[in-house]
Structure 1
Amino acid sequence: MTGTAVREKGRLRSALGWVAIAAAVIVFALLIGALSFGAPDSRGGLDPESAKGSGTLALAELLRDQGVEITVTRTRADAVAAIDDDTTLVMADPYSLSDDAVSALIEPARSTVFLSSASRLLRLLDLGENAAPPASGALSVGCDAPELANVGTVQPDRFFSPASGVEGCFTDDEAAGLLIAERDGVRTALLEGSGLLSNEHLAENGNAALGLALLGQTDHVVWYVPSFSDTDIEAQSPDTLATLTPEWVTPAILLLLLAGILAGISRGQRFGRLVTETLPVTVRASETMHGRARLTARAGDSAHAAAALREGSLRRLAARLGLAARSTPAEVADSASDRLRIPRGALHHLLDGPLPENDSELVDTARRLAELETAVDTAVHVERNTP
């Protein structure tokens, strides 16, 4: 083979390599575009204008049939402007608002109903704490609230321990599915409504009657829908090496790198053929992990293995959700529930509930943790690529 043929063959290989790189870039761009255009609608979870299974359009229409006027607002200013003396303020967990903004929003309302719960709301409103769900299914009212007398039975998804002066309804073993506080003429109610009042579950048990009883006590309902477009929380960028060093350091580093590259090009030699060399014996880092796993399996300690799996999942979920490394399991569960728009009760049980007692429950817990991490990673990836 002549030198010309060898050079032509080399050029062909180089051209094919560039074509492969260009094709990979195009495929990646198309994939990103598909994910961006296929991102889920921001409306949905407990939205009174959403007909999806997680929306509450059915409940809103039932209220209108009862003669209740509903004003749907998507900004705090519109919500405050629409509130009057005969108004019930309704909203899901205002995750995009600071504590001060939440307090300012509910201050002019004499009656406020929160349709989804969060640990922050329980603390901010001094309503109580999270509680473990009881073993029983559907529960009766179990409180003295007159508007709930004809509701019947419901099956709450999340339970709470009422604070002092807070009335708990749908109770079992001192755990309540609905909290009602009457303080200085201001009424506040909180429940986890995603499994009770959404379009998908409204026809079950006494859920529809519960929604009408909570939201239909006044002739006017102001329904505030929280979103990231209406937030008062300013993003804070962490300090980087560039912001902590003098301005001349970065140009100096770049100049030194450029000088090193030029020196390497001028002094370097052409690489020859690859030489096969016998590598020394190495010990894999994974052998320690496998050894500990074998010890745990031999001991049959399912709870210890599940605790290690849960700790790793909590650490990774906190990083993906932008939470602090020391965030509690309840905070991680609340944030993941808001991102995935799923009921909080199941996530609290998975991330902070009892540990499995046998290998079958351990396998199920590991599978559910892996599915949760995959779902959160996909949701965060979609949000970052949504224009």
Structure 2
Amino acid sequence: MTTTAASDVDVATAERPRRRAASLGGWLLIAVLVLAVALAASQLVASAPGARGTLDPESRADTGALALAEILRDQGIEVDVVRSRAEAAAAVDEDSTLALTNPVALSDDALAALLAPADRIVFLSTSTHLLSELGVGENASGSVASASADCAVPAFAEVGRIRPDRLFSPAPGVTGCFGDGDAAAVLVDDRDGHRSVVEGVRLFSNATLADDGNAALALALLGQTERVVWYVPSWEDTDIPGTTPDTLGSLTPEWVTPAILLLLAAGIAIAAARGRRFGPLVAETLPVTVRASETMHGRARLTAKAADAPHAAEALRDGTRRRLARRLGLAVNAGTDEVADAAADRLRVPRGSLQSLLSGPPPADDAALVAFARRLDDLETAVEGTLQTPPGET
């Protein structure tokens, strides 16, 4: 006994380091998960939404224009993405194309300074104010389901048909393409340099670039030089004072971040104090044997709790049919009519008199269920009594 006790102590002592190591590993995993969630939340709070906007040449979103930028690079065209108007003005030269969307964050003077050194400019989206500032035309009413170039611009000869989203009325001296003389999807102004205006949000985005002749139109607009300077306007580069839009970080009070960290710390403390301790699994001998009476009582409680008298009646009726079939020497799977006729013959009552009891409509409430159970019990008792007395004896 002394040797056995000593071996048990050694086994318990050897198991303690393993348990401690498992517990420590579990808590380290929880700590890593909490830190990862906190880092992701802080990044979400710190970053402003929409960091990559519509027709951004570095955005993979459906509204971005990364696909167009990659197509230009595949054609051997150098694409320089700049996010500062000073860098854009410095990068543009006579052999390059300046591409940009509607620069709503720039004043008219800043826009003029940006466009001055550029000889070839393509506006991928526009506004009513920009049309007026450029003097190329104005908005046109109506829509066109599909249009071809139908103009004298050689670069558009192989474009095919497009589905324009917006039409413009060209000013005198400005060429309108992909429409008619009163409403065109693309405006080309060669009066002072080369300026093209198109509403390309639904034409040149990643999701729709492959439709119709959209990609061909983009190459015709941006692929005429060996280099494209793609300026991305943003409110961080605005020169209009007091117009920087509010972000999630600027709208959040200063106390929110410390409160979030405090709540995270409190959650970790509560988890450490109240959480389950990691330990060895409890061994249990399988299979587990459950007595039939326990299963029966459990199902009875469920039926009583559900107040389902018809279901309980069917269960009672099925048990009665099985027991009567066995006592009457019938097969276990004997039909209801066969059991009822055999029981009627045994009791010397007319055939069919037991059909309603064994296969009729079930009771609808508890009171009727009790009476129904008593009738089934009386039937089994009567059949059992006839089995003890041979037929024919009185």
TM-score by length of 2: 0.51
Alpha-carbon shift at residue 212 of structure 1 (Å): 0.6
Matching residue's letter, 2:130 = L
Alpha-carbon shift at residue 118 of structure 1 (Å): 0.5
Give the one of 109, 133, 149 matched to 1:141. Answer: 149
Do structure 1's residue 207 and structure 2's residue 214 form an aligned pair? yes
1:124 match: secondary structure: helix
1:178 match: secondary structure: strand
Alignment of 1:184-195 (within 5 A): 184=192, 186-195=193-202
Match in the other structure for 2:167? 159
Match in the other structure for 1:247? none
Give the one of 107, 128, 141 matched to 1:132. Answer: 141
2:152 match: secondary structure: coil
Give the one of 227, 251, 258 matched to 1:385. Answer: 251
In structure 1, distance between residues paired with 2:231 and 2:172: 28
8 Å contact kept, 2:46–2:248 = no
Q: Deviations over 1:335-379 (max 9, x none)?
A: xxxx9xxxxxxxxxxxxxxxxxxxxxxxxxxxxxxxxxxxxxxxx
Structure 2 unmatched ranges of 5 or more: 1-40, 254-394
Do structure 1's residue 218 and structure 2's residue 225 form an aligned pair? yes
Match in the other structure for 1:122? 131
Matching residue's letter, 1:216 = G
In structure 2, distance between residues paired with 1:122 and 1:170: 18
Alpha-carbon shift at residue 383 of structure 1 (Å): 8.5
Q: Deviations over 1:262-313 (max 9, x none)?
A: xxxxxxxxxxxxxxxxxxxxxxxxxxxxxxxxxxxxxxxxxxxxxxxxxxxx
Alpha-carbon shift at residue 43 of structure 1 (Å): 1.1
Alignment of 1:1-387 (within 5 A): 36=45, 39-134=48-143, 136-172=144-180, 174-184=182-192, 186-235=193-242, 385=251
In structure 2, distance between residues paired with 1:221 and 1:34: 33
In structure 2, distance between residues paired with 1:96 and 1:219: 28
In structure 2, distance between residues paired with 1:173 and 1:82: 35
Distance 1:230 1:39, change over 3 A: closer
Larger relative contact order (C-alpha < 8 A, sep ≥ 6)?
Answer: 1
Distance 1:164 1:41, change over 3 A: same
1:197 match: secondary structure: coil
Matching residue's letter, 1:181 = D
RMSD: 2.5
2:59 match: secondary structure: coil
1:80 match: secondary structure: helix
Distance 1:58 1:181, change over 3 A: same
Q: Deviations over 1:138-196 (max 9, x none)?
A: 11111111001000000111111111111001114721111100013x00000111010
8 Å contact kept, 1:138–1:153 = yes
8 Å contact kept, 2:169–2:181 = no
In structure 2, distance between residues paired with 1:104 and 1:193: 24
8 Å contact kept, 1:35–1:382 = no
8 Å contact kept, 2:188–2:195 = yes
Structure 1 unmatched ranges of 5 or more: 1-31, 237-321, 323-338, 340-379
Distance 1:121 1:150, change over 3 A: same
Q: Percent identity?
A: 52
Distance 1:34 1:56, change over 3 A: closer
Matching residue's letter, 1:222 = V
Matching residue's letter, 2:149 = V
Distance 1:64 1:73, change over 3 A: same
In structure 2, distance between residues paired with 1:215 and 1:174: 25
Alpha-carbon shift at residue 41 of structure 1 (Å): 2.8
In structure 2, distance between residues paired with 1:52 and 1:156: 21
Matching residue's letter, 1:197 = F
Matching residue's letter, 1:165 = G
1:150 match: secondary structure: coil
Distance 1:45 1:227, change over 3 A: same
8 Å contact kept, 1:39–1:386 = no
1:188 match: secondary structure: strand
Alpha-carbon shift at residue 40 of structure 1 (Å): 2.2
2:98 match: secondary structure: strand
Max Rg structure: 2
In structure 1, distance between residues paired with 2:53 and 2:45: 18
8 Å contact kept, 2:60–2:66 = yes
Match in the other structure for 2:17? none
Matching residue's letter, 2:60 = A
Distance 1:80 1:39, change over 3 A: closer
Matching residue's letter, 2:106 = L
Count of matched residue pairs? 213
Q: Deviations over 1:191-230 (max 9, x none)?
A: 1110100101101000000001100000010000000111
8 Å contact kept, 1:93–1:116 = yes
In structure 1, distance between residues paired with 2:188 and 2:250: 38
